[in-house]
Chains A and B, each alone.
Chain A
Amino acid sequence: MNGEGRTRLPYLAAAAAMTAYCIGPIVFMALTAVSRRPDFLSPGAGLEFTAAHFLEVLRTKSLHFLEYFRNSLVVSAVSAALSVSVAAPAAYAITRLEVPGRTAVLFSALAVSMFPQVSLVGYLFRLMTSLGWINTYAALVLPYTAWILPLSLWILTSYFSSVPRDLDRAALIDGCGPLEALRKVIVPVAAPGIFSTALLAFIFAFNELLFALMLTTDHHARTIPVGVALFEGLHGEIPWGAVMAAATLSTAPVVALTLLFQRRIIQGLTRGAVKE
C-alpha cells in the first residue's frame, strides 16, 4: 500500500515494544524461576542458572504442588467437557428448533456472565457445607460448569448457526431424530468449533480463583491458582525463586495451549462477541 516503506521502521519499533510488553513479565517470571538469586537484574548480581527452585517445588511434599496440579487438570477438564455437552443440545435447540423463548435463554445466559462471582460464592459455600461437599471436586465442578455455560452457549450457537441447515435437514428427512442429527451431522461438522469452545472453557476453569478459594480447604481439592496465590515462605521471607517456579509450572499448560491453538482461541473469543 501507499507509503509502506516510510512507515516500516515505526511499525517495527512499535511491534517490538508490544511484544516486549506482552511477554516481558512472563520471561521475567521464568528467569527468576531458574535464577539462583531473585535480584539478578541489580548491578553486580548477574544471572546464574539453577534447577533448584523447580526441584524444590516438585519434591517438597508439604507444598502439595503436584496434587494441586492434578486437581486443577481434573476439575477443569471435567467442567469443560460437561459445559460443552450441556451447551451443545441447547445451542442446537436455539439454532434449529422453533422454541419459544430461545432469545430469552440466550440473553439470560449473557446476563449471567455479567454477574459478579462474589454474589454467588457466599451461598455456594453454605450450600456445599450443608451437602458435606466442601473440599471435593464436585464443589468446584458444578459451579464451574454453570459459570462457563453462558460462554459455551454463545460460542456454540454462533458455530452451529454457520453450519448449513440443509445438512441436518437431510438427516432429519432420512429419519434421524434431532438428537441423532446433532450427534451425527452437526457435531462432526462443527467439531473445530466445539474444540475451541472446550479449550476456552478449560482455560477459564483452570484460571478460576474465588470459588476455589472458598470451596476448598486443602490439597484434596485445592487448585493451582489458590496454591500459587497462597504460596508463602516458612520463615517470613518470600522464596521468590520457588514461587516463580510454581507460577511457571502452572502457567505452562495454558501457555502451551494458547501457542498451539492461537487461531482457534481468537476465533472462539470473537464469536458471539463481534458477530450478531
Chain B
Amino acid sequence: MGGDRTIRETLRGWAFLAPLAVFILGFVFVPVAGTFIDSLHREVTFLPRAFIGLGNYRSLSSDPWFWQSLRFTVLFVLVSVPLELVLGMAFALLLHRPSRARGALRACVLLPWAVPAAVSGRVFELVCNFQYGPANYIAERLGLTVGPVNWLGSAWGAFFALVAGDTWKTAPFVAVLFLAGLSAIPGDLYRQAAVDRAGPLQRFTRITLPLLRPVVVVALLFRTIDALRVFDLVFVLTRGGPGGSTTSLSLYGYDAFAGGDVGYGSAVSVVLFLVAFALSAAYVRIGRFGRGLS
C-alpha cells in the first residue's frame, strides 16, 4: 500500500512539473538543440539547406572578425566584471550602514538595474556624444581632456563607454546580492572584533570577505555569464563599432542571423554557448570546493 502511495505521489509530482517541463523543453532545450544542428548545415536565405558537417566552424576559425569579437567579449568580461564587483561591494557596504535614509538610498541604487538596457544604451550614447555629451563636459572640467573627444569614434573610447554603461546598470544588482550576504553576518562578530581593537580594514578582510565568499562566487558567476553574452548594450550603444572593434559574440551571431546566414550565426552561438557552459561548470566546481573547505 505504501508503494502505491509513493507511485501516486510521484505521478502527481510529475504532473505538477509537466507544464514547466513542456515550456522549457519546447522553447529552450529544443531551440538550443536546433541551433547545434543548424550550425552543421548550410542554412542561408534563398539557398537549399545542406549538411556541411563542420564547414561553418572551419569558416569561423579563419574568420578574423570572429576572432576579433571573441577577443572583445573576453576583454569586456575581464574589465567590467571586476569593476562591477568592487563597485557593488562599495555600494553594499554603504547601504548596509544603519541610516535614516537607508530605504531611499536602496531605491536609488536599484533604479539603474530596472532601466531597460536599450534605454541605458541610448542614454550613454548621448552622454558620450561629441557635441552634446556630459562626458566631454565633465572630462574637460576635471582637466582630463582638452577639447571635445569623440568617445564612440575610437575603439578604446567605445570600449570604455560600454564598460561604463554595463557597470552602471549592473553594479546595483551585485550590491543587492552582497547586501543580503552582509545582513546574514551576525553582528556579534563585529562587536567582538571591536573589543579586540580590530581596524575597519581588518574587520573587512578577516570577517566580511570570508563570510561573504559564497555570495561573491554567485555574483561572479551571474555577472561573468551575463557579460559574456552581452548583446543589448552593445547593439544600442556602439552597434559593434567603430569598425567592428566592439562586436560581442552575441552581436556577431545576431548579425549573421539578420544577414540571412542562420548556419553561420548558429555556429557562433554554439561557440558562445560552450564557453558559457564551461565557465558555469568551473564556477560551480569552485563554489562547491569553497564550501567544502569552510
Chain A residues with CB under 8 Å of chain B are 1-2, 11, 14-15, 18-19, 21-23, 25-26, 28-29, 32, 38-39, 41-42, 86-87, 89-90, 92-94, 97-100, 102, 105, 108-109, 111-112, 114-127, 142-143, 145-147, 149-150, 153, 178, 203, 206-207, 209-210, 213-214, 224-226, 228-229, 231, 240, 243-244, 247, 250-251, 254-255, 257-259, 262-263, 265-266, 269-270, 273-274
Contact = CB atoms under 8 A, between A and B. Distances in A.
B6 A250 contact: no
Nearest to B214: A274
Nearest to B30: A123
B109 A1 contact: no
B139 to A, nearest CB: 12
Nearest to A224: B116
B112 interface: yes
Contact of B228 (A116, A142, A146, A225): A116
A247 B257 contact: no
Interface stretch (B59-67, B152-160, B271-279): B271-279
A11 B28 contact: no
A225 B116 contact: yes
B75 interface: no
A130 B16 CA distance: 30
Contact of B180 (A11, A18, A203, A270): A270
A214 B265 CA distance: 13
A145 B27 contact: yes
A262 B236 CA distance: 27
B226 to A, nearest CB: 9
A102 B9 CA distance: 13
A121 B235 CA distance: 15
Secondary structure of the A side of the interface?
helix
Contacts of A244: 122-123, 126
Contact of B119 (A14, A32, A228, A273): A228
Report, as a range, how many residues of chain B touch the other chain. 35 or more
Given A90-B16, A178-B12, A214-B257, A149 B23 contact: yes
A114 B215 contact: no
Q: Which 8 A-B pairs have the closest CB atoms?
A: A99-B13, A123-B34, A146-B27, A93-B16, A225-B118, A116-B229, A270-B180, A97-B13
Interface string B156-184: 00000000000010001100110111001
B272 A116 contact: yes
A127 B34 contact: yes
A80 B103 CA distance: 26
Nearest to A121: B257
Contacts of A109: 20, 24
A18 B105 contact: yes
A28 B127 contact: yes
A100 B17 CA distance: 11
Contact of A89 (B16, B112, B120, B137): B16
A209 B28 CA distance: 17
B115 A26 contact: yes
Given A14-B90, A105-B17, A122-B266, 16 more contacts: A11-B99, A15-B99, A26-B112, A28-B126, A116-B269, A118-B254, A119-B32, A119-B273, A120-B31, A121-B31, A147-B27, A150-B24, A243-B126, A244-B123, A255-B111, A266-B176
B273 A116 contact: yes
A45 B244 CA distance: 35
A228 B118 CA distance: 7
B115 A255 contact: yes
Contacts of B114: 203, 207, 251, 254-255, 257-258, 265
B58 interface: no
Given A39-B132, A86-B19, A225-B232, A19 B108 contact: yes
Nearest to B272: A116
Nearest to B148: A42
B231 A119 contact: no
B257 A122 contact: yes
Interface in B80-137: 90-91, 94, 97, 99, 101, 103, 105-124, 126-127, 129, 131-132, 134, 137
